[in-house]
Chains A and B, each alone.
Chain A
Amino acid sequence: MSTKVEEKKIQRIEDILNNDVWDVDYEPHIKVDYNKCRECKWKPCIRLCPAECYTLVGDEVLFSYEGCLECGTCRVVCPENAVEWSYPKSGRGIHYRFS
């Protein structure tokens, strides 16, 4: 599957990510403490997670691990230490082929 890029408009992140391959683990390798997110004014994870794993639903942060690219950015930028981060278990997670 590949996204045609002829169009001169910004694609949706979902469509771009569709080109990547994962072997998704059954259990999340990252856990987010939403109580801490509620206290967080800046929520830099929303803009800086390149896979947009963090989204805002109303005022609440919602995290999903499935599309994670394992870069570690959320862990570094989180001002509240709300992200408990590890790598997916044995062989799971993102599988880059052309990077």
Chain B
Amino acid sequence: MSVINQRFDAIVIGAGPAGSTAAYQLAKMGYKTLLLERGRTPGSKNMFGGRVYLQPLKDIYDDFEKKAPIHRWVKKERISFIDNENSTTIEYESTKTTSFTTYLTQLSGWMANQAVNQGAILLTEIRVDKLYRENNVFKGVVVEDEVVNADVVIDAEGINRLLLEEANLVEKLKPNQVALGVKEVIKLDSNLINQLFGLDNNDGLSWVFIGNLTNGIPGGAFLYTNRDSISLGIVLMLEEAIRKLDKHIYKLVEEFRIHPLINKYLKEGRIMEYSTHLIPEDINSLKPRKLYYDGLLIVGDAAGLLLNQGYTYRGVDFAAYSGYLAAKAYDYAHNNGGPTSDNLSKYEELLRNSFIYRMLNKFSGVTELMKKERLFNTYPALINELASRLMHIDYDSYKIMEAFKEVKKGRISWLTLIKDLWEVSRKI
């Protein structure tokens, strides 16, 4: 491993969206950058729901829209309240778009490639065993008992922070800090997808489900259209899942797939892949005390930088942008005497002035709100029963308020209802 004997300006651990983007930006600014990935290819250990928000990536990569592996532009959004037999849906459709679907495995690979094109060295099948430090200054990484030196280390190891734990910078994850996402990718002909969901060529659908698909556990379900496949999966808050899940978690995904209101879309489909990942939830407790140390910056999931907005997650754009800012912070430190903790605190400043901290602060109450079980059990059932009373007509039919009073009875008081409405409208 001759590369390993060289000295680098920066070593980036992990070629996911955060790490690859950091490496891309560092190499672009002329820094000698080593990007290390434990998988066989960049992206091979990555998994997400299915949708990426565009704007932050456009700021980072030139011609992103033309060159990146984009499957479909999301122009149709659905939010459904669902139970065993009914669903009530809000649909939004537009000729404009701000997000796209893709496989993160592909997008990370593409980003790592951009880093390589800028001159970064990418080594795959390299598992970093330890952060290397001398006198409390991070000076590189340890790979199979060999030390690789660098001026700065950028930790993009992801949500399972083995390296940061070993360095005593974070504690072991706790169930109340994360959610668990499990998904199936189902092969489906691209024209059939367009027909089934009423989409034009490269237009995509993002579909979120709230209701009893999660076994009464706080969380949700999602369906995204890719170019010629469907991603469908569920997300469960892990702490609540430990207490309440009464069957194997994969069964929830399968029950979702065979749900009569979903399965009709998937009749011709074949499962291509089954994947899973932990999702940062409680950002306040997940975020390391500091994201900058002497010779070290922390980005992406490892830094807890992911936004749960209630009806959507923003992970990839947050991760990539944090990597981008970390590279900028290193540039600043390099030009001001070196990557000391003081100089690298520039990263914190850049985050504070960016949409990342702005949004994390704005939506800080969402995870707590999402843990309210009424939101997943009572309200979806109430909405569906109300719709059912109004729509199913034999002889007598209902007036709206009459139907509402009937379905509300025994379920929820006016006071709770108004309090919940107030909370939802304040926090989301």
Contact = CB atoms under 8 A, between A and B. Distances in A.
B127 A98 contact: no
B175 A76 contact: yes
B40 A95 contact: yes
Contacts of B277: 71
B254 A98 contact: no
23 contacts: A5-B186, A5-B257, A8-B258, A8-B263, A10-B255, A19-B272, A20-B274, A48-B245, A50-B180, A50-B182, A77-B175, A88-B127, A93-B45, A94-B44, A95-B41, A96-B43, A96-B45, A97-B44, A99-B46, A99-B48, A99-B104, A99-B105, A99-B183
Nearest to B236: A48
Contact of A99 (B103, B247, B250, B255): B103
Contacts of A11: 254, 271
A95 B44 contact: yes
B60 interface: no
Nearest to B250: A13
A16 interface: yes
Interface residues of A, number: 46
Given A47-B248, A99-B47, A10 B275 contact: no
Interface size class of B (residues with CB under 8 A): 35 or more
Given A3-B271, A5-B271, A42-B242, A76 B250 contact: no
Nearest to B180: A73
A48 B114 CA distance: 37
A75 B162 CA distance: 11
Contacts of A31: none
Given A99-B183, A99-B275, A94 B270 contact: no
A66 B354 CA distance: 42
Interface string B252-292: 00110110100100111111111111100000000000000
Contacts of B44: 94-97
A72 B258 CA distance: 27
The 10 closest A-B CB pairs, nearest first, are A91-B125, A99-B275, A50-B276, A72-B160, A2-B270, A99-B47, A10-B254, A90-B125, A98-B273, A3-B271
Nearest to B271: A3
B159 interface: yes
Contact of A71 (B260, B267, B269, B278): B278
A80 interface: no
Contacts of A46: 248
B178 interface: yes
Interface string A7-29: 01111010011011001000000
Contacts of B174: 76
Contact of A76 (B48, B127, B178): B178
Given A44-B241, A99-B183, 8 more contacts: A44-B242, A47-B247, A70-B160, A72-B173, A73-B180, A73-B276, A96-B45, A99-B105
